[in-house]
Amino acid sequence: MVFPILGANTESAAYEIENSLRFNSSDTARLGKTISGTSNRKTFSMSFWLKKTKISGYGGIFGVGTATSDTGKLQIRIDGSDNLKIEGGSTTYRVTDREFRDVSAWYNIFISFDSTQSTAGNRILIYVNGVQETSFSTSNNPSQDANTPFNEDGKTHYIGTEGDGSSAALDGYLAEFHYIDGTKKAYTDFGEFDDNGVWIPKEYDGSYGTHGFYFQFKQTGTSANSSGMGADTSGNDNHYTPNNLAATDVTTDTPTNNFCTLNSISYPSGLVTSLQNGSLDLLTTDSPYGAVPATFGLTNGKWYWEIKVNASSDYDRIGLVGTEVPITTSFDFGDTNLGGGAKTNLAYKSNDGKTRKDGTDQNYGNSYTSGDIIGVAYNADDGEIYFYKNGTVQNSGTAAYTNLDGLTLIPAVGDGVANASGQYFCNFGNPTFSISSGNADANGYGNFEYAPPSGYYSLCTKNLAEFG
């Protein structure tokens, strides 16, 4: 299974990042700005945090230009093999041997580009989580004093795609994005190692240059101004225009408080699925049937999350699965049906409101369908699971499952019949859908349609550090 490995999964940090922006590739979500007036085209630095939610898929991070020349195109992206790639129009400068495949973790990536350096190998430097990348499948250097299209008058900078504003759209989250025009910065300007040797963010106090910016993603507007999602808080007012982004894409899933998502590397074998919106929205289609687990395994504490059934398959399954059930790239629940097979393969079914365990149904609660929100309350300390329908606990408050203490269980969702289509919006605290009421847990984390039961918490690393 995959646990969150981020070093910031502690109760507190010296420097907190409050927000991130969620990018959905099928929407070609992006930020963009056309540059007015040329500044430094030879030197820039950038630092950002990335949580990638899909593997084996291209993900544009910063791109400028479409020309075939290096002076007319430069882009930074994750390639189809999950490596970090920096390329011009005709030259691939760097491709890391490192693969970015942990969909539960945040990565800090620092890049300095300075073609004025006399030593060719110093013209492009990359650091990941405070460690310099030195192993590359491809490594070429720009010529000394070479110009790039960055900061060139009339060129459009894109974040979330390649330089054409449409190709290689990103699936994932970006946070704490610094871009410094004209200065070669050090990676230690943006982060530091804590006492446990884990790389954590720190506040940057330097300048940004003419076209530099700092995105904190605290605003939800759709215009290129200080109220927009692309608001520049560096003092430069270099605001970027959001495209195909919504207010719900501004999230509190950050490097200093990492939230649970669905696990895109744990698809059921043969199940045709579509994960979207930061791996929180699941579409199941065709055959066979199955479910997708989340990225957090829960052993202790009391936890609450919600699943909105946006489109019912009439055989929807919402529940949890134990870690003894293999979670691999060919995920198998025993009989591929959540609720069948393994003894800690547990489901609440939509068509009849029954629970399902070991392939056996038991009377439990009400059926549910499209538009309903199912709350799940898992008391790992006492080994009990409760299900809620639209805020009402089922079975008069009697647990659906008991005697589960001592196990590690993972949230899961899917359907239980072939050739059926269901769509499920998962809310572990950062919903992709609009919340009409707004309820946080007792620690102030999460945003739910219905209030979490007393003593239950959203699935984020700050809560895990305290209760898990």
């109760």: which residue's tokens? 11
Choices 2.40.430.10, 1.10.472.10, 3.40.50.1110, 2.60.120.920: CATH for 272-467: 2.60.120.920
Domain locations along the chain: 20-251, 272-467
């769509």: which residue's tokens? 423
Q: Decide whether 20-251 matches 272-467 in CATH topology.
A: yes
| 255 DSSP assignment | T
Cα 200 from chain centre? 18
| 327 DSSP assignment | -
Domain 20-251: give its CATH code.
2.60.120.200
Dist CA 360 CA 362 (whole Å): 7
360: exposed, middle or buried (C-beta count within 10 Å: 0-12, 13-18, 19+)? exposed
- Model confidence over 105-119: pLDDT tens digits? 999 999 999 999 999
Q: What are phi and psi of 424, to 5 degrees?
A: -130, 130
Helix (H) or strand (E) holding 97: strand 92-99
| 460 DSSP assignment | B
Q: How do the pLDDT tens digits run along the chain, 468 residues long?
A: 334 434 334 445 589 999 999 999 999 999 999 999 999 999 999 999 999 998 888 899 999 999 999 999 999 999 999 999 999 999 999 999 999 999 999 999 999 999 999 999 999 999 999 999 999 999 999 999 999 999 999 999 999 999 999 999 999 999 999 999 999 999 999 999 999 999 999 999 999 999 999 999 999 999 999 999 999 999 999 999 999 999 999 999 999 999 999 998 876 555 556 889 999 999 887 655 678 889 999 999 999 999 999 999 888 999 998 876 544 433 444 445 677 765 678 999 999 999 998 788 999 999 999 999 999 999 999 999 999 999 999 999 999 999 998 899 999 998 887 677 899 999 999 999 999 999 999 999 999 999 999 999 999 999 999 998
Is 142 within 8 Å of 124 (Cβ atoms)?
A: yes
Residues 6+ apart with CB under 8 A from 181: 39, 40, 44, 150, 151, 208, 209, 210, 211, 212
Residues forming a β-bridge with 254: 257
Dist CA 215 CA 254 (whole Å): 13
